[in-house]
Amino acid sequence: MHILIVEDDAETADFLLRGLKEAGDVAEWCSTVEEALLMAPGKRFDAIVFDRMLPDMDGINAVRLLRQAKVATPVIMLTAMSGIDDRVDGLDAGADDYMVKPFAFSELYARLKALLRRRQPLESEPTQLQVGNLQLDRTTQRVTRGDQTIDLARREYKILELLMQHKDEVVTRTMLLERVWGYGFDPRTSIVQTHVSRLRNKIDKPFDHELIKTVRGAGYVISE
Amino acid sequence: MLSANSSMQIFTSRIFRIAAMWSLIFVVALGSLMGVYGWAQLERAQEDEISHLQERVDEIVNEIRHEGLEELIENYSDEFGPLWPQQEAEYFIEESEVLLLVTVGERAVLGFAQLSADLGLSYSDYPIGDNLEDIVELRTLRVDFGDDITVSGGLARSDEIANAKSFIHQIAFWIFVVLLPLLLVYGFLLSGYVISQLRGLSHSLASVEGGNIEARAATSDSHDEFNQLALDVNKMLSQVGRLVRNLENVSVGVAHDLKTPLTKLDHRLQRIEHDLNSPDDIRVHVEASRSHLQTLLNTFNALLRLGEIESGRRRDQFRKISLSEITEDVADTFQAVFSEQGRTLDVSIIPEISIDGDADLLAQLVSNLLENVLDHAKAGGTAWVRLQRNTSGAVMQIGDDGPGIPAPEHARIFERFYRLDKSRQAPGNGLGLSLVASIAQLHGATISLHKDQPGTVFDIVFKT
């Protein structure tokens, strides 16, 4: 991935640059909206990480300008505030996702990956998802592993669907809370862990090969 | 009851001036109305009187003109002769008949010789009684025509006119001498009452301003506006008091709940320094450090969310949502956690209860209350979530059969950073129930804790 980071705080920028470099991606950094507007146009970047508070302009207005200039590159907005209004404002202005500081790098990375996948137009929502011998049919909502049909509760099904849509990518706890439960808050109780472990009991435990893996401090990944 | 000083204050008060002004306006309006009515009555009676007099005199004049004076005298002197006796006049007066007199030159030729009248319409006195000692006021009319002949008529003032006059006098008396002072006295007493009520309120407010946060306005069981105002003021004062106590709790809470993870973090950093040569140990310390930081961040997030909720901004995004579905959904999610911990969560929800609200916040309300159960109820116990309709809307009940909360603490559990566990070792940050309370308040719902039931049982009453 080739990522542009627009962030006036050098420490945060460094944290992002290092993380992306370690993951094998290329990242460039600028600290003002002025520079960003010069650098962003064209197809050079796969995604832009935009800070909400920049010295020369509010990040929301900056994203709006980008979109008016027909720059379609996906944007993730970073903010220190967690108000729902800010989130809505950010998405209205044309940002594709929104993250509240402080965040774990793994969370940002997972969201960047998800964003790029979502942008690929040809792969329009397949109805059959497959990981190894695990199959999920989205029209009949039937889940099978090998020749065995597995009965899943509604939420277990949605978790599995999300994991399989992001095969080989980390899906974080927050992403699960947002997309499976639709919660904008973070319960102290480990409801995600509980439900993922129930899902594992059904699709992994009876078989010798585990498909769902825990990524410590980040989330879950499904892979062969 | 009222000192001279406070009487003065009443007289100069705005409410008394308003009452006095309205009393005057009322009295003047009523007086004018009655005056106009009385005057119209009087006018009518006088017109009747004059036309009666006029007709009779005209009749005589016509008879003289057409038949001559002699013929007239002839016609009217059947019984008593041309000049009628004085006693007869009294009878005429009583019957409201016109007294007549016809003179030629200075000589009376027909009628009552005592009648004297000025030319045209006028008034004159007429003596009656055996010795002519009584005087009756007559309205008179005299017509003069050729040959020195005059025809006079006199008519005693009718009762109607006297009645109309006395009516006007009486009305004036009642309105200005009786009603106006009564209204002013009433205005004075009313003003005194209002002022004393307001003064009671302002005393208690002054007392609060002076630092006695527990001072309250006196209230009664009555349903009048002043009592309602006093109750509202007291409610506001309680709210202010809660805020002040909240602030105190926040200081202690911030000092403790933020300092503890920071101290632990500091310890971990020191241990990293110590274990620099052992990557495995460092990994453990880093893991622990992140978890302490997460605790801190969670507290900050909860505080920010509280601020956001209390600002009321999210009310703009309210829309019709199914409280049943949201509750069911959260309860369903937590049921897995309960059963994993060997507890029971009994869910009983009436479907299709809708309210205007924020789905995310309501989910958090249920979630926080269930987390409270997980934190404080006894292991292996039973908890329940119920949602039912009641007369005004819906009532949600979330309860457990655990040790419960001691009654003296009931009023304080919704305060920020308030912890039952004074050592602050139990899980949680003391903000969960504050969030619940603000979410309920934002939705116009009331939350209460059952007093006489074992365990902890919350009732949240929504208006639908």
B321 pLDDT band, cuts 50/70/90, is: very high
- Judge whether residue B5 has pLDDT over 70: no
- Judge whether residue A86 has pLDDT over 60: yes
What pLDDT score does A84 carry?
A: 60
- Judge whether residue A43 has pLDDT over 50: yes
- Judge whether residue B235 has pLDDT over 60: yes
What is the rounded average pLDDT for all residues in chain B?
Answer: 85
Please answer yes or no on whether B363 and A102 come within 8 Å at the CB atom. no
Best A15, A172, A191 residue to mutate vs chain B (most B CBs within 10 Å): A191
B323 pLDDT band, cuts 50/70/90, is: very high
Mean pLDDT of B173-200: 88
Contact A58/A90 with Cβ under 8 angstroms?
no
Q: List chain B residues with CB under 8 Å of A188.
A: 298, 371, 427-428, 432
Q: What percent of chain B has pLDDT over 90?
A: 20
| pTM for the full predicted model | 0.59
Higher-scoring residue by pLDDT: B237, B5: B237
Rounded-to-integer distance, Cα B126 and Cα B154, Å? 9
Mean pLDDT of B247-259: 74
A213 pLDDT band, cuts 50/70/90, is: very high
CA distances from B132 to B35, B101, B129, B156 (A): 37, 18, 5, 16
- Judge whether residue B423 has pLDDT over 70: no
- Judge whether residue A173 has pLDDT over 70: yes
Mean pLDDT of A200-212: 90
What pLDDT score does B412 carry?
A: 82
- Judge whether residue A190 has pLDDT over 60: yes
What pLDDT score does A81 carry?
A: 66
Please answer yes or no on whether B305 and A82 come within 8 Å at the CB atom. yes
Please answer yes or no on whether A191 and B337 come within 8 Å at the CB atom. yes
Of B337, B368, B371, the CB nearest to A194: B337
Higher-scoring residue by pLDDT: A88, B201: B201
CA B281 to chain centre: 73
Contact B104/B148 with Cβ under 8 angstroms?
yes
Best A79, A84, A107 residue to mutate vs chain B (most B CBs within 10 Å): A84
Q: What percent of chain B has pLDDT over 70?
A: 97
Nearest one of B439, B442, B452 to B410, comparing CA atoms: B452
What pLDDT score does B320 carry?
A: 92
- Judge whether residue A12 has pLDDT over 60: yes
Q: List chain A residues with CB under 8 Å of B333.
A: 155, 181, 191, 195
- Judge whether residue B357 has pLDDT over 70: yes
Q: List chain A residues with CB under 8 Å of B428.
A: 188
- Judge whether residue B329 has pLDDT over 50: yes
Q: List chain B residues with CB under 8 Å of A181.
A: 329, 333, 363
CA distances from B202 to B246, B326, B374 (A): 25, 46, 47
What one-letter code names the amino acid at B340? E
pLDDT per residue over B331-355, tens digit each? 999 999 999 889 999 999 999 999 9
Mean pLDDT of B109-134: 82
What pLDDT score does B207 carry?
A: 85
B2 pLDDT band, cuts 50/70/90, is: very low
Best B289, B335, B360, B361 residue to mutate vs chain A (most A CBs within 10 Å): B360
Q: List chain B residues with CB under 8 Å of A183.
A: 360, 363-364, 367
Three-state secondary structure of chain A: CEEEEECCCHHHHHHHHHHHHHCCCEEEEECCHHHHHHHCCCCCCCEEEEECECCCCEHHHHHHHHHHCCCCCCEEEEECCCCHHHHHHHHHHCCCEEEECCCCHHHHHHHHHHHHHHHCCCCCCCCEEEECCEEEECCCCEEEECCEEECCCHHHHHHHHHHHHCCCCCEEHHHHHHHHHCCCCCCCCCHHHHHHHHHHHHHCCCCCCCCEEEECCCEEEECC
Please answer yes or no on whether B317 and A155 come within 8 Å at the CB atom. no
What pLDDT score does B314 carry?
A: 81
ipTM confidence score: 0.73
Helix axes B432-442 and B279-310, enclosed angle (nearest 10): 30
Please answer yes or no on whether B298 and A188 come within 8 Å at the CB atom. yes
Chain A residues whose C-beta is within 8 A of a chain B C-beta are: 81-85, 100, 102, 155, 181-191, 194-195, 198, 216-217
Mean pLDDT of B369-383: 87
Q: List chain B residues with CB under 8 Å of A184.
A: 360
Please answer yes or no on whether A84 and B317 come within 8 Å at the CB atom. yes
What pLDDT score does B325 carry?
A: 93
Distance (Å) from the alpha carbon of A192 to chain B's nearest alpha carbon:
9
- Judge whether residue A90 has pLDDT over 90: no
- Judge whether residue B1 has pLDDT over 50: no
What pLDDT score does B427 carry?
A: 67
pLDDT per residue over B30-55, tens digit each? 889 988 988 898 888 888 888 988 99
What pLDDT score does A221 carry?
A: 93
What pLDDT score does B422 carry?
A: 65
Distance (Å) from the alpha carbon of B223 to chain A's nearest alpha carbon:
42
β-sheet with B393-400: strand ranges across: B344-349, B382-389, B393-400, B457-463, B446-449
Higher-scoring residue by pLDDT: B75, A122: B75
Higher-scoring residue by pLDDT: B407, A47: A47
Of B329, B360, B428, the CB nearest to A184: B360
Most confident among B64-73, B218-227, B367-376 (mean pLDDT): B367-376
B147 pLDDT band, cuts 50/70/90, is: confident
- Judge whether residue B129 has pLDDT over 80: no
Q: List chain A residues with CB under 8 Å of B317.
A: 84
- Judge whether residue A113 has pLDDT over 90: no
Chains A & B: contacts with CB separation below 8 Å: 64
